[in-house]
Amino acid sequence: MDPRKVSELKGFVQLCESNPGILHLPEMSFFRTWLVTTCPGPPPPSIKRAGSVVGTELDSGFSSREEDLGEDPHKIDKEGVIEPDTVEPQDMGEFDNTEVTEEMMDQANEKKIEAINALGEGGLIVCSDWADTIPVLIS
């Protein structure tokens, strides 16, 4: 490529970045069309010319890429989204400001030891009974 042409293109891109409204000039319709087919589209019109905003008389064929593809622009891709839990929450006991006593701690520790021993012996079902200690500690 001709380095001079590349330099001119860089200058044009910088001009578009500093003043995006020039993309909405009628003589730039070919460039807008190309942008829409390859990119999300040009920024909305913002510069004023003779009391009106340039670009309000856009080609009727000018639309966003999503509309051209027939897609809803507000549709959210839910791929990889984890569905909400439909299982009822487990009872965790009543929470109040009661102080945990030594007896309550002993009960909880006994259940914990039973669960650990059952886990060591391969009894996963018995381990689930350890959940009984949660209401004991909270109540």
- Of residues 7 and 36, more confidence is placed in 7
Task: Measure the CA–CA gap between 91 and 82, rounded to whole angstroms.
Answer: 24
H/E stretch holding 115 reads: helix 102-120
CB-neighbour burial class of residue 127 (10 A; exposed 0-12, middle 13-18, buried 19+): middle
- Of residues 136 and 23, more confidence is placed in 23
Q: Where are the domains of the chain?
A: 3-68, 102-138
Task: Measure the CA–CA gap between 99 and 109, rounded to whole angstroms.
Answer: 16
Give the range among 56-65, 78-87, 95-104 with minimum mean pLDDT: 56-65
pLDDT tens-digit series, residues 22-56? 888 889 888 888 887 876 655 566 655 554 444 44
- Tell me the pTM: 0.29
Tokens of 1: 């490529």
